[in-house]
Amino acid sequence: MTPVRESTWLRIVRGEAKRPVERLAGAGLWALSAAYGATLRLHLAAYRCGLARRTRLPALVISVGNLTLGGTGKTAAAMAVARWLWEEGKRVALLSRGYRGRGERRALVVSEGFGPLATVEAAGDEAYLVAQKLPNVHVLVGKDRRVTGRLAVDRLGANAVVLDDGFQYQRLERDTDIVLVDALSPFGYDLLVPRGLLREPPEHLCRAHAVWLTHSDLVRKADVEAVRARVESLAPQARIWECVHAPMRLHRLDATGEEAPETLRGRRVCALSSLGNPEAFERTLARLGANLVGAARFPDHHVYRPDDLLRVAEEEAAEAEWVVTTEKDAVRLPRQGLPGPIWALEVELTGRPQGTSLREEMACLLLARSGV
């Protein structure tokens, strides 16, 4: 399985760089990581010392974030929290930065609780997907989430706010911080970006009220236990929940109708994705019994062009019966002129079998927080 693109930067991060120029670039990344770390410490110190102040919204605010660059499953987790709050009777708004969407630099209402009002190009793929799948939830995008938060509360009447990718966003006060740690790649090679994948050092987990171990079904039990033990040492006060991204259904992009995930068993499949961690998606397909004969990996949030799909059809998917992609990728793929059938796998965040459900976990978490 050959990726369509594998960046030089990722090879350096993984320690796979062999050419002299790549090793020289790696030395430069060390220096940039040191500078980033110093800036981060000053930024957080300003809030600790009161030099910078956070905005408090007159609403319940729950942040869903992570320590690393992409790949932990934040979108599914944020949707699960928003859905639970709505089922509990809250008027819910989800605030997203709208990464790579045209609305990122301004406050844009993607949904007023009736489905998408903006295009995927304006909203960004994650916010558009939330608006599409959770039509009862208000969705807003914008880099300044103090502005979108006030808009959600004052204009749309929200009394519960989900801050998507909010762990590093210090400008907005939150009641609960949920941090996702991917069991497949939990601590980003223990190096800060750009030399590693960490946005913050692991010890900053001490700020988390809950740590959710995602993709915990895709690694050995001993590996999950090792990650859990390290999290417990870093964040002894946090609730820890092992969860999975459970496959729910398949839908074909150029047609109506659905298929059960088990339909993949025995089929020759090409995995098409542009994710921070494509390995999780590919392992999920393999666990469903798919015969993975190709894997087309693009950079995270990639804007697909027609020639991208033609190349996938001719190369990575040449031996495949089906091309299967993610829901996040599906909203960026055209519905017309596809080189062949492409299916999207829908997933939902759930607890591991024999573990607590998301409903139980959220109820316990907020009960614990209300006693603080």
Q: Domain residues of the chain, as ranges?
A: 8-48, 60-244+351-370, 246-349
Contact indicator for 75, 130 with CB cutoff of 8 Å: yes
Kindly tell me if the per-residue pLDDT of 6 is higher than 70.
no
pLDDT confidence bin for 229, thresholds 50/70/90: very high
CATH fold of 60-244+351-370 reads: Rossmann fold (3.40.50)
- 8 A C-beta contact, residue 345 and residue 261: yes
Say what the pLDDT of residue 4 is: 37
Which residue's entry shows tokens 């790549």?
22
pLDDT tens digits for 279-325? 999 999 999 999 999 999 998 888 898 889 999 999 999 999 999 99
Going by C-alpha positions, the residue among 306, 338, 317, 310 that lies closest to residue 270 is 317
Query: Which H or E run contains 250?
Result: strand 239-252
The span from the CA of 356 to the CA of 359, in Å, is: 8
Other residues' Cβ atoms within 10 Å of the Cβ of residue 64: 30
**Predicted pLDDT at 133:** 96
Tell me: pLDDT of 116 over 90. yes
State the pLDDT confidence band at 132, using cuts at 50, 70 and 90: very high
Give residue 43's pLDDT.
96
Amino acid at 340: G
Residue 3: is its pLDDT beyond 80?
no
Q: pLDDT at position 259, please?
A: 96
Cβ contacts of 63 within 8 Å, gap of 6 or more: 162, 163, 166, 167, 169, 174, 176, 177, 178
Does the pTM of the predicted model rise above 0.85?
yes
List the end-to-end C-alpha distance of the chain, in Å, as a whole number: 50
Closest alpha carbon to 98 in 126, 129, 64: 126
pLDDT bracket for residue 101 (50, 70, 90) = low
255, with CB counted inside 10 A (0-12, 13-18, 19+), is exposed
Identify the band that residue 47 occupies on the pLDDT scale cut at 50, 70 and 90. very high
